[in-house]
Amino acid sequence: MPASLLFRCAPGRTVLKTWMILQKVLLAALELKPDALIVADPGFVGWLREVSPQTEVHLSVQANTTNYLTASFWKKLGVSRIILSRELRLSEILEIKERVPDLELEVFVHGAVCMAMSGRCMLSNWVTRRDANQGVCDNSCRMPYRLYANEGPQCADYKEHEGDFFLQRTDRPELPPVALDEDTWGTYFMSSRDLCALEVVPDLVRAGLDSFKIEGRTRSVYYLSQVVRAYRMAIDAQGTVPEEARRALDFVDGRGFMPGFLKGPLPQNYESTHVAASGGCVCAQILDYDAQTCSCRVNVKNPFSLDDSLELMTPEGMRLCKVASMKDFRGGDADRLNPGTEGRIFLQEVENLPLEQAQFGFFVKQTNLNPETNT
């Protein structure tokens, strides 16, 4: 499997001593023979071309490549792939690919979206002195905020504002106001919804885009399994997005989905930073599978009972399964398993379940059943 190393350094942030340390780190990384280095700073791009011309250099999204002239410039400097800015529309991406066809292009298609220009944010630095551009963002934009009139910290007698609040530009009164909804925790007006470009994948495939990027930091293995499976199906379909790909995304939590700048508009989610999955949730991860007893030892993620409708998810897909019985971590019979424990699930029957598939499997609990199809 190809492996790339990400190396970011904001221009103007390196003194001589720091530069010498970074040189040693990069040279040590090159000894590992990565398939490519993802770099944002032009100085490091030039240095890498001198000391290791055989190493592939991929340009980070933080370099903000937004047009074909910039893409051509980086190509001449030896960059083999560019991760395009997340602020581009679909038509702009297609134009860059058409004008620079022999340059590999990578585009974000799913996941968290930073409130700042392609992630070049200083909010975390300002609030907690943690540098988002050095990989230690504290997600300040995702936190709840409260609006109050009095100075000083708010005490236990804090009262929520009554009525509706809106943010209006005074220089452009014709623009619609932005609603600032506030729940018991506060408001989330800086938190963007998650990008979901599943419906745009056919256009990107037809245009010959080389790589599709999923933002998966701090996400669970289950989340990545469902999302990667969805986009793999959409890419392989070579046309209309399969309904099964859309359904896979119904089983993951998020912040609400939007198409980003690709097709717009850009709806925000001012009410919360969490939107529960509409189709269901993961209830257990398979640790091992015993073919003789047709049972799985599992790590329980969410509570579930014998009478819940479960699907077995493996790299081959999802299918309904019937649970015959369950045992808790003590080995006793159980009607319900709770998170934070292990247990064993005995299935009535599972056809064609190879061990190498089962060990990457999950049990998924349905919460939105269609009575006609039972799915």
Query: Where do the domains of the chain lie?
Result: 280-366
What is the distance between the terminal CA atoms of the chain, rounded to a whole angstrom? Answer: 34
pTM of the model: 0.82
| Spatial separation of the C-alpha atoms in residues 352 and 223, rounded to whole Å | 25
Say if CB 29 and CB 5 are below 8 A apart.
Answer: yes
Kind and range of the H or E element at 104?
strand 104-111
Homologous superfamily (CATH) of 280-366 is Translation factors (2.40.30.10)
Beta strands at 81-83 and 57-59: parallel, antiparallel or unpaired: parallel
In angstroms and rounded to an integer, the radius of gyration of the C-alpha atoms of the chain is 24
Question: What does 109-174 look like in DSSP terms, one character per residue?
Answer: EEE---SSGGG---HHHHHHS--GGGT----GGGS-B---SSSS---TT--PPPS--EE--SS-TT
Q: Encoding tokens for residue 88?
A: 């581009």
Kind and range of the H or E element at 211?
strand 211-214
Q: Encoding tokens for residue 218?
A: 């701090």
Closest by CA to 185, choosing from 215, 146, 158, is 146
| Spatial separation of the C-alpha atoms in residues 260 and 356, rounded to whole Å | 37
* pLDDT tens for the chain, residues 1 to 375: 565 666 655 544 555 667 788 888 888 988 988 899 999 888 889 989 999 999 999 999 989 999 999 999 999 999 999 999 988 999 999 999 999 999 999 999 999 888 777 667 778 878 788 877 777 788 787 777 766 655 555 566 655 556 677 777 788 888 887 766 666 556 666 778 889 999 999 999 999 999 999 988 778 999 999 999 999 999 999 889 999 999 999 999 888 888 888 886 665 555 556 778 888 899 999 999 888 888 999 999 999 999 999 999 988 888 888 899 999 999 999 999 999 999 999 988 766 666 677 778 999 998 864 433 333
